[in-house]
Amino acid sequence: MKQLSVSVFLLILLWAAECQSQDWSGKDEYTFMFYNVENYFDSENDSLTNDNEFTFEGDRRWNQGRLNDKTDRIAKVILAAGKWNPPAFVGLCEIENRRVLEFLTNNTSLSKFNYKIIQKDSPDQRGIDVALLFRPDLFRPFDYQAIKVSDPSDPTFKTREILQVSGVLNSCDTIYVFVNHWPSRYGGMMETVKFRKLAAETLKIAVVKVKSKFPGAKIICTGDFNDTPSDESLMNVFGAVETNNPIRSDEMINLSARWMSEAVQTLKNEYTWQVFDQWIVSDGFLSATNCFKFVNAEIFKAPFLLETDSKFGGVKPKRTYVGFKYQEGFSDHLPVLIHFQLQNH
């Protein structure tokens, strides 16, 4: 497989070494990760989806060599985000199919960690899906389902499904994970807001269903919501709050809300940074148990994921393409992480 450039690989090594020299508790601290990997397509044409752009004959001249390079870069990001203790699970979006995930987990430096895959082809017109990679030594799923987001007024409406995975963490506690990629703002924010509200309603129904069966359930909602923590879909429709009220025990808390005041957020639109990639968790998840203890949530802002923004100032995510020019980058989104300690490891 084509390897990363020496300079980028050294940056990743230096970043990991720096993190390990800081306040990091070692083997007992682990990570959950979510990453919008931006157009992770194979190089084959799928006649059932609109993926022509990412073929050799398409506008981006996508080929096996470029797929190899992007695959290796995604693997290196996952390793670096876990500080060489790779995440217990990785939620992903903008992946085309199971083949690219098998390529990622079997043909890169991730292979030694035996990641398993949960993925289902979605009805999205571009053929992009959400997925969950997990380490079976740390997280053992026992159930999963793909939840369809429908528009009652338009039976032709298609978007990514919400992936719900139920599993046992570290053989001692059950967590419920929802991986999301809500409808985009392409076509205008106001013109598309109703679709994100539909996704918010769908997610809320699924979360309430879990809570009604298991009060105090440890629930994690993550993904690219294509809205910020302060937008109506998340605050009013789904009902995520920015601050945990210790008196209440039925809240869903948006751990990402505070990121909106940070200089670098999860993606950039011209001059403006935004927080689309988020973690929203139940009160139960934040309650320390004899299994695990929540530490913090953060945006993974490693320098090698960023580049100088010569047009709009500051920095921006280093993408695979700028327009149609291939530049060997990573994604237009930054990954987001949850750190936690295992109490009985």
According to DSSP, the β-strands at 267-269 and 272-274 are: antiparallel
Under the banding of pLDDT at 50, 70 and 90, the label for residue 61 is: confident
Does the structural domain 25-342 have CATH classification 3.60.10.10?
yes
More confident residue, 10 or 163: 163
Residue 148, token pair as written in the block: 């369809």
Distances (CA, A) of 305 to 12, 191, 338: 9, 32, 18
The position carrying tokens 């004959």 is: 57
Q: What per-residue confidence (pLDDT) applies to 1?
A: 47
Under the banding of pLDDT at 50, 70 and 90, the label for residue 21 is: very low
Spatial separation of the C-alpha atoms in residues 41 and 67, rounded to whole Å: 8
CA 154 to the chain's CA centroid: 28
Spatial separation of the C-alpha atoms in residues 331 and 320, rounded to whole Å: 6
Residue 227, token pair as written in the block: 């809205």
Which pLDDT tens digit goes with each residue over 119-157?
999 998 888 999 999 999 999 999 999 999 999 999 999
* 206: DSSP letter: H
* Mean of pLDDT values over 261-290: 96
Under the banding of pLDDT at 50, 70 and 90, the label for residue 46 is: low
Residues 6 or more apart whose Cβ sits within 8 Å of residue 77: 35, 300, 302, 305, 330, 335
Residue 65 has pLDDT above 80, yes or no: yes
Going 96 to 257 to 85 to 174, the CA torsion angle's sign is: negative
Kind and range of the H or E run holding 204: helix 189-213
* Mean of pLDDT values over 261-276: 97
Under the banding of pLDDT at 50, 70 and 90, the label for residue 345 is: low
Domain segments of the chain: what residues?
25-342
Spatial separation of the C-alpha atoms in residues 126 and 156, rounded to whole Å: 15
Q: What per-residue confidence (pLDDT) applies to 53?
A: 67
pTM higher than 0.85, yes or no? yes
Q: What's the chain's average pLDDT?
A: 90
Which pLDDT tens digit goes with each residue over 318-344?
999 988 889 889 999 999 999 999 987
- Residue 242, judged by CB atoms within 10 A of its CB (0-12, 13-18, 19+), counts as middle
User: Is 91:338 a contact under the CB 8 Å cutoff?
Assistant: no
Residue type at 285 in one-letter notation: F
Tell me how crowded residue 193 is: count the other CB atoms within 10 A of its CB.
17
Burial string for 48-59 (b: 16+ CB within 10 Å, else e) reads ebebeebbeeee
User: Is 82:24 a contact under the CB 8 Å cutoff?
Assistant: no
Q: What per-residue confidence (pLDDT) applies to 241?
A: 97
Residue 273 has pLDDT above 80, yes or no: yes
According to DSSP, the β-strands at 162-169 and 139-147 are: antiparallel
Residue 78 has pLDDT above 90, yes or no: yes
**Percentage, residues of the chain above pLDDT 90:** 75
Under the banding of pLDDT at 50, 70 and 90, the label for residue 24 is: very low
Residue 42 has pLDDT above 80, yes or no: yes
Spatial separation of the C-alpha atoms in residues 251 and 208, rounded to whole Å: 11
